[in-house]
Amino acid sequence: MIQAAKTYHVGKASITRIDELQLAAFKFDALYPGAEPQSLERHRDQLEAGSFDPVAGTFIQSIHSWLVRRPHHTILIDTATGNNKNRPEIPSLHQLNEPFLARLAAAGVTPEQVDHVLLTHVHADHVGWNMRLADGRWIPTFPNATYVFSGIEQAYGESLATGTQPTGTARPAPALGPALRKPADRVYDDSVRPVIESGLARLIAVDGGEVLEGISFIPTPGHSIDHASIRLVSGGEQALFAGDVMHHPLQVYEPSLNSCFCEFPEAAWASRQLSQGAGSGLQGALAIGCTGSRPSELDRERLPPRGCLLHRETTRVATFKMRLPVKPNEAPVRAAHPTSASFPPKPRASTATGSTDRRVASDDTGRSTCRNAAWDCSR
Ligand SMILES: [Zn+2]
């Protein structure tokens, strides 16, 4: 029997994580190629149990959605990987058959009840349940929802999917710095374009403005061309759903670490300076919780001053609650792009060639299975 996940509260909103997969795939060199191993050693004792396997030396990560319930809205933030998706280049995500919708039901929500799907970006493990396979064709999993996401992400994805040169808004801004990788193949075709064709998409400018009462998309580009962190304001409290700004709590302590998945590493680096410096729109924020299984148990003393994030990828809930004068209409300024001088020094030469991908498929009864497959981070 699938049990409902724990629910957290931010103001009048309740937040429940809907799990899809756990991954124990990456060692340090694979997730952060070229970075100094001391970055991990410095903070190994600060990492929560369950977020790092000290024996195998692998980071524990998860892929999941966040269910946000408010008095008048039922919202999903990101939609994980999805079943039946053809991802041969990413074996861990290939042809999944996970009880994601059963877990959503265990939380008390049917797909038809979801009225908004908010996407931080359009990578494979964030948009998959946008569509599901029925009678051989992709149909919207959440037929009554408005799918809200960046128009730039859509335009860029469309140009790559059709093999055309990105032009106009689809063209990466020079301020992003060089692109070192691109989104995975087929994701746009089976999980993004069908949303648009179904008439359910609402494409937005990621500029910090409210898209729904108390909800705004904050620019945190770099991991992808127009990655957004989604800010929820309710009852004088805030939560920030940070998407893939970070891939592990280690980056809370070491924000200079770029994961191998960042498409535009220089901009990704800048976006992790979220709560530092003028112009972020979050300055003055006080983080009151981070990386704990239960917010009430969080250890404030261990928090770095820059705060921490309600982190999309970690198995532990990292809550970014900020005590600040709430200004719902405040539009954060896009984080300043680092100059070449401020960007971290070039990493050391890496010998990493990939990772051992251990997919942990939980059956919700405490048993789990591990599967091994190559994960080529360069894809
Ligand atoms: Zn991503």
Q: Ligand 1 centre from 363 Cα, in Å? A: 25
Q: Ligand 1 centre from 262 Cα, in Å? A: 7
pLDDT at 33 over 80: yes
Q: Ligand 1 centre from 247 Cα, in Å? A: 9
Q: Ligand 1 centre from 325 Cα, in Å? A: 31
Q: Ligand 1 centre from 308 Cα, in Å? A: 18
* Burial label, 60 (beta-carbon count in 10 A; 0-12, 13-18, 19+): buried
When the pLDDT of each residue in the chain is averaged and rounded to a whole number, the result is: 75
DSSP 56: T
pTM value?
0.80
Q: Ligand 1 centre from 313 Cα, in Å? A: 9
Helix (H, G, I), strand (E, B) or coil at 158: helix
Cβ(220)–Cβ(243) below 8 Å: yes
The pLDDT confidence band at residue 49, using thresholds 50, 70 and 90, is low
CATH fold, domain 7-375, is Metallo-beta-lactamase; Chain A (3.60.15)
Domain residue ranges of the chain, discontinuous segments joined by +: 7-375
**Most confident among 102-111, 262-271, 291-300 (mean pLDDT):** 102-111
Q: Ligand 1 centre from 223 Cα, in Å? A: 6
pLDDT value at residue 368 = 30
Count of other CB atoms within 10 angstroms of residue 66: 22
Q: Ligand 1 centre from 1 Cα, in Å? A: 31
The pLDDT confidence band at residue 357, using thresholds 50, 70 and 90, is very low
pLDDT value at residue 84 = 97
Structure confidence by residue, pLDDT tens digits, 54-90: 888 888 887 888 899 999 999 999 999 999 999 999 9
> Which amino acid is located at 155 in the chain?
A
Q: Ligand 1 centre from 35 Cα, in Å? A: 20
β-strand partners of 216: 210, 231
Q: Ligand 1 centre from 138 Cα, in Å? A: 22
Q: Ligand 1 centre from 113 Cα, in Å? A: 26
d(CA 168, CA 161): 16
Q: Ligand 1 centre from 300 Cα, in Å? A: 28
Q: Ligand 1 centre from 244 Cα, in Å? A: 5
